[in-house]
Amino acid sequence: MNGAINPSFDEVHGAAGSDRPLLDVSNLHVHFRLGSRLVRAANGVSFQVRSGETLAILGESGSGKTVTMEAILGVLESPPGHVTNGRAIFAGQDLLSMPASERRRLCGRRIAMVFQDPMSSLNPVYTVGWQIAEMFRIHLGATRSAARREAIRLLKRVGIPDASERVNNYPHQFSGGMRQRVVLAMALAARPEVIIADEPTTALDVTVEAQILQLLKELQAVEGIGLLLITHSMGVVAEIADRVMVMYAGRVVETGTVNDIFARPKHFYTRGLLNSDVQIGRAGQQLTPIPGQPPDLARIPAGCAFHMRCPAASERCRSETPQLRTIRTRHLSACHHADQVV
Amino acid sequence: MPHASVADSDAEDDLVVEVTDLRVHFPIRRGVLGRTVGQVYAVDGVSFHIRKAETLGLVGESGSGKSTLGRAVLRLISTTSGKILLGNTDITHLSDEEMRFRRKDIQIVFQDPYSALNPRLTLGASVAEPLVVQGLTDRKMLEQELGLLFNRVGLPAEARRGFPHQYSGGQRQRIGIARALALKPSLIVCDEPVSSLDVSIQAQIINLLGALQDELGISFLFIAHDLAVVEHISHRIAVMYLGKIVECGRTADIFKNPRHPYTRALIEAAPVTDPAARRRKRKVLAGEVPSPINPPSGCNFHTRCPLAMDRCRREKPVLREVAPEHTAACHLIDPAENFAP
């Protein structure tokens, strides 16, 4: 397969065998019309998530990572947001073209979501047990008592002590970390095939973040769930991702295995992120920040969107938008000078 | 990046701030009569000092009292007991009027630069405000001073005429820093100044703070939950847990030889940006920070400590010196020998 410029999907996303992806997103474009400004938040985003794997979408604010997720789940604020192109195939159906009610039925059960702020997923006036049990009643048609038993089992599963009593508590009676566990219990309730988690540990303290990451990793491995993790934290990615997709200004600029991305990045933006990341045990080393600011998404520069901040930018980078191309097996970069990244 | 030479000079008169046994308790009031039914022990007997051109990092999880401590040092909230020496002046009980004249010596940079700036004021007006309040009203001198300040924080002088919403988080944080610098303070309290910024911008601001310290000899009380950031920027580090400092020492000592089990747990929990070093079974501290309304008996940390003994449940450990310039509050520490779990 000769795909140096236009790689096929399998090549892009590293399908080694015949296992079909659970979620297959291709060429997703999301634009926001804000007055006279057209904000291009996602510009041709493609990726796949397979069962039992964790794909991390790594990007800074404004990179398009959250908008991508919102578009897939159909929770994009619209207007002003519009999906102008693209497909998101799940279970043989395109999530982007099906009616909202149908998508809700499918997404609620087979694709679960976990957000940064657990309170945004919890209703403050119902007990957590009622809310978890609701998942069983609505999606699986369980009886009240069976649903309640399941709720207790799940609370235990996510490590909440005294689950049979805590099931009667309201969200405000839990700490931030415990609430995120409750949300995970809810997410697991309908036995989803895919979990999409948007910054699930960003609001938590470090010791609690470590607990939740460990739990996510374990649940995912045991249940064989495909996890799509959206984060800005290099530490979180290094900790639990199998593959990484780096986004900048609404585009995928690099994808690869977590080891390749951290040890042998092939895009100057990824390199810059790694160089500016503050790490324990490197206090003596100078930090090398990426100069400047990310571009205004209503005025994305011509050529490579990163060229104004890139140390290797050439004339070509200012005029020609680089496409994702295969650098090594399962490792793609959208950089004209990928071979110069060290 | 901290420069060891400054911090190592041990001239006692170099102290910029010295806090002794500071307590900040908030009463919990209930009912129509507002009777006090309890206390939140937000800061509970904290002592520390900061030397000239030194950065003291203050780390802890939410609820540890680190932000309350920072605000108490600034006299933005009143203290229950204890003493705050700013230079040679005891500011603990200064009136608001008297405090106003001392404010120029001690400034703050907040976490969220957007909420710290008035959206209706130009950036220039925001930065000029402290100067005007302190009596600099000459238009020309003011403009000149603003130009210097904007330059110093890496912004073009023309940004003076812009408004906060036109700038990104990193640029707004530069404005927050310019505003704090305006009165040439000896101490700036930085309360999570980079935690809401993107990774690539965080590094810019961290480098800027380091450069300002080198140039101007400012001291920082740097409050953060991110251990890596604190390690990078601090000469010394104080670890807080539930209103108390549980360990304090030079940065290298804290990281190479942490003596308190909580400090160890924090270092262990910090994510490592190296997938190759992914720990299959890392030791994760169980539980969460207890409520400061009813702190545990004995050692505050005993409910989560993997090494807790009977004594820890009964008796509060005191901070004591475990090595030169290194203190820890743990019953397991015998000053004579290295503590190994």
- Per-residue model confidence as pLDDT tens digits over B145-164: 999 999 999 999 889 999 99
**What is the tens place of the pLDDT at every residue in B112-132?**
877 888 999 999 999 999 999
Reduced DSSP (H G I as helix, E B as strand, rest coil) percent helix, strand, coil of chain B, to 5: 35, 25, 40
A293 touching B, CB under 8 A?
yes
Average pLDDT over chain A, rounded to an integer: 87
Least Cα separation, residue B60 to chain A (angstroms): 9
Model confidence at A2: pLDDT above 60:
no
A37 in any annotated domain: yes
Model confidence at A298: pLDDT above 50:
yes
Find residues 197-236 of chain A whose CB sits inside 8 Å of chain B. Answer: 205-211, 213-214, 232-236
Model confidence at B231: pLDDT above 60:
yes
- Read off the pLDDT band of B280 (50, 70, 90): low
Where is pLDDT greater, at A79 or A270? Answer: A270
CB atoms within 10 A of CB A111: 25
Q: In what order do the strands lie in the sheet with B35-51?
A: B35-51, B15-30, B81-86, B89-90
A211, B286: Cβ pair inside 8 Å? yes
Least Cα separation, residue A97 to chain B (angstroms): 34
B198, A232: Cβ pair inside 8 Å? yes
- Cα A99 from chain centre: 24
pLDDT score recorded for residue B88: 87
Three-state SS at A329: coil
Q: What is the torsion angle, in degrees rounded to the nearest 10, for the CA atoms of residue A106, residue A111, residue A114 and residue A115?
A: -60
Share of chain B above pLDDT 70, in %: 93
Q: Where are the domains of chain B?
A: 12-337
Predicted interface score ipTM higher than 0.85: no
Give CA–CA dist B164/B117, Å, rounded: 7
Least Cα separation, residue A93 to chain B (angstroms): 35
Name the closest residue on chain B to residue A292, using Cα atoms. Answer: B201
**CB B78 within 8 Å of CB B17:** no
A178 in any annotated domain: no
Residue in B80, B78, B75, B155 with CA at minimum distance from that of residue B123: B155
- Read off the pLDDT band of A17 (50, 70, 90): very low
Give CA–CA dist A304/A292, Å, rounded: 15
B1, A284: Cβ pair inside 8 Å? yes
A134 in any annotated domain: no
- Parent domain of A269: 2-117+194-322+329-340
Model confidence at B3: pLDDT above 80:
no
The encoded tokens of residue B90 equal 């005891």
Q: Which of A234, A284, A293 sits opposite B273 (nearest CB)?
A: A234
Model confidence at B79: pLDDT above 90:
yes
Mean pLDDT, residues A2-27 taken together: 58
Give CA–CA dist A287/A105, Å, rounded: 48
A262 touching B, CB under 8 A?
yes
Element (H or E) spanning A31, and its range?
strand A23-34
pLDDT score recorded for residue A284: 72
Any idea what the CATH number is for the domain that residue A200 is in?
A: 3.40.50.300
Query: What is the 8-class DSSP label of residue B12?
Result: G
> Residue B325: left (phi > 0), alpha (psi -120 to 50), or beta?
left
For B312-319, the CB contacts below 8 A with 24+ separation are B319/B47, B319/B245, B319/B246, B319/B248
Model confidence at B334: pLDDT above 80:
no
pLDDT score recorded for residue A13: 45
Measured between beta carbons, the chain A residues lying within 8 angstroms of B202 are: 276, 278, 289
A186 in any annotated domain: no
A172 touching B, CB under 8 A?
no
**Distances B152 to B133, B145, B157, B194 between C-alpha atoms, Å:** 21, 10, 10, 18
pLDDT score recorded for residue B13: 62
pLDDT score recorded for residue A273: 92
Mean pLDDT, residues B259-287 taken together: 81
Q: Which of A284, A286, A290 sits opposite B200 (nearest CB)?
A: A290
Number of domains chain A is built from:
1
Is the domain defined by B12-337 classed in CATH 3.40.50.300?
yes
Give CA–CA dist A143/A154, Å, rounded: 16
Q: For A93, how many CA atoms within 13 A lie in the half-sphere containing its CB?
A: 12
**What is the tens place of the pLDDT at every residue in B182-216?**
999 999 999 999 988 888 888 999 999 999 999 99
Model confidence at B337: pLDDT above 70:
no
Measured between beta carbons, the chain B residues lying within 8 angstroms of A205 are: 61-62, 225, 288-289
Residue in B241, B62, B255, B246 with CA at minimum distance from that of residue A280: B255
**What is the tens place of the pLDDT at every residue in B25-43?**
998 888 888 888 888 899 9
A281 touching B, CB under 8 A?
yes
Give CA–CA dist B221/B72, Å, rounded: 12
A238, B271: Cβ pair inside 8 Å? yes
Name the closest residue on chain B to residue A241, using Cα atoms. Answer: B275
A131 in any annotated domain: no
Model confidence at A317: pLDDT above 60:
yes
Q: Which of B252, B271, B289 sits opposite A233 (nearest CB)?
A: B271
**CB B275 within 8 Å of CB A238:** yes
- Read off the pLDDT band of A322 (50, 70, 90): very high
